[in-house]
Amino acid sequence: MRRIAVIGAGQMGAGIAQTIAQHGIHVMISDIDRAHAEAGKATIGKSLSKLVGRGKLEADDAEGVLSRIEPVGDYSPMAEADLIIEAATEREEIKKTIFENAGKVLADNAIMASNTSSIPITRMANYSPDPSRFIGLHFFNPVPVMGLIEVIPGLATAPETTDRISAFAEMLGKQVVLSQDEPGFVVNRILLPMINEAVFVLGQSTAGIADIDKGCRLGLNHPMGPLELADFVGLDTCLDIIKVLYKTTRDGKYRPAPLLVKYVEAGWLGRKTGRGFYDYTGDAPVPTR
Ligand code: 3HC
């Protein structure tokens, strides 16, 4: 794969574009408009500067990575791409519009992939021009650091598409877990009920935020507790995923925790808004309960 396009320049899209560019590949990045795409590139620039500051990356190499990232204002340049990766908000209607519009320029042999965390691939494949070249490619945050990519073929995905995408994921230095197209795939199916349950535990005042996280950090050896991880992923994203699990399975064990719904309604979405279960406006995160 020589040229790749990423649609969505938020936390995941920017991380995906950074990782691709760090592996020597030219990557276009787009969002609702060119200004948002440029902002995504600026975020990557900051992330690379931090690595340079910590002596993890040479300044010249950081420049090289940035030079391979091309913000674009619309989908037309993506006609050149071998692979288009959608990493937009976790809402099916938004993704549908993207697949239909970007599908108009998808080259004959190119693949369209979705970084969805939970929406069925088989269904979304029908919004693209060729379901045999449509696949799920699920990255983990922070993308440049995390070692896993889930690859999710839909019912109509051609084996050749799965092979090409798995080879691409490995070329990025990631390990692949192949998942059937079931709600939440493998990792989020396990992770989101844990995060949701942590919010129930908080809502029932069984323990406070700091202790819930401490319990899981020390008791389970997780690098982050479930509430700090929820803030890191984004509480809106967490709620979107648990809602998809609930709606698609109708299993009550996935019922969203009422407190999670409230936090999202309050606009307390985690790190990206400066407040979630923790307040991030000072020098160090402070638990809010
Ligand atoms: N680019 C490249 N490298 C980066 C980077 C970036 N943007 N950000 C951090 N790094 C590197 C650092 O240089 C450092 O490298 P080193 O180990 O060689 O020194 C390493 O990553 C760790 O970074 P930090 O020292 O800054 O931070 P911590 O040691 O505190 O670790 C963490 C941060 C990696 C985020 C760790 O806390 C962690 O693993 N947390 C859990 C993350 C997790 O579970 N992610 C999955 C979320 S679920 C998901 O994404 C699915 C979605 O569908 C919801």
- Residue with the smallest CA separation from ligand 1 atom 31 is 223
Is residue 26 a contact partner of residue 68, using CB atoms and an 8 Å limit? Answer: yes
Is residue 28 a contact partner of residue 4, using CB atoms and an 8 Å limit? Answer: yes
Burial category of 38 from C-beta neighbours within 10 Å (exposed 0-12, middle 13-18, buried 19 and up): middle
Is residue 235 a contact partner of residue 241, using CB atoms and an 8 Å limit? Answer: no
Residue 93 has pLDDT above 90, yes or no: yes
Active-site choice (150, 166, 196, 228): 150
Range list for CATH 3.40.50.720 in the chain:
3-178
The encoded tokens of residue 123 equal 């269904």
CATH architecture designation of domain 3-178: 3-Layer(aba) Sandwich (3.40)
Read off the pLDDT of residues 138-152 as tens digits, 9 standing for 90 and up: 999 999 999 999 999
Range list for CATH 1.10.1040.10 in the chain:
188-276
Read off the pLDDT of residues 211-237 as tens digits, 9 standing for 90 and up: 999 999 999 999 999 999 999 999 999
Output the ligand 1 site: residues, CB below 6 A: 47, 51, 56, 117, 140-142, 144-146, 188, 191, 223-224, 229, 233, 237
pLDDT score, position 272: 93
Calpha distance 277→225 (Å, rounded): 11
Interacting residues of 37 by C-beta distance below 8 A, sequence separation 6+: 9, 29, 30, 31, 71, 72, 73
- Residue with the smallest CA separation from ligand 1 atom 20 is 145
Reported as a pLDDT band with limits 50, 70 and 90, residue 1 is confident
Reported as a pLDDT band with limits 50, 70 and 90, residue 118 is confident
Calpha distance 63→288 (Å, rounded): 39
Superfamily of chain region 188-276: N-(1-d-carboxylethyl)-l-norvaline Dehydrogenase; domain 2 (1.10.1040.10)
Q: How far is residue 274 from each of residues 3, 14, 198, 234, 240, measured CA to CA in Å?
A: 35, 19, 20, 11, 20
Calpha distance 153→162 (Å, rounded): 6
Distance of CA 180 from the midpoint of ligand 1 (Å): 27
Nearest partner of 209 among 187, 229, 239, judged by Cα = 229
Q: Angle 230-137-117 (CA atoms, 0-180°, nearest 5)?
A: 30
pTM: 0.95
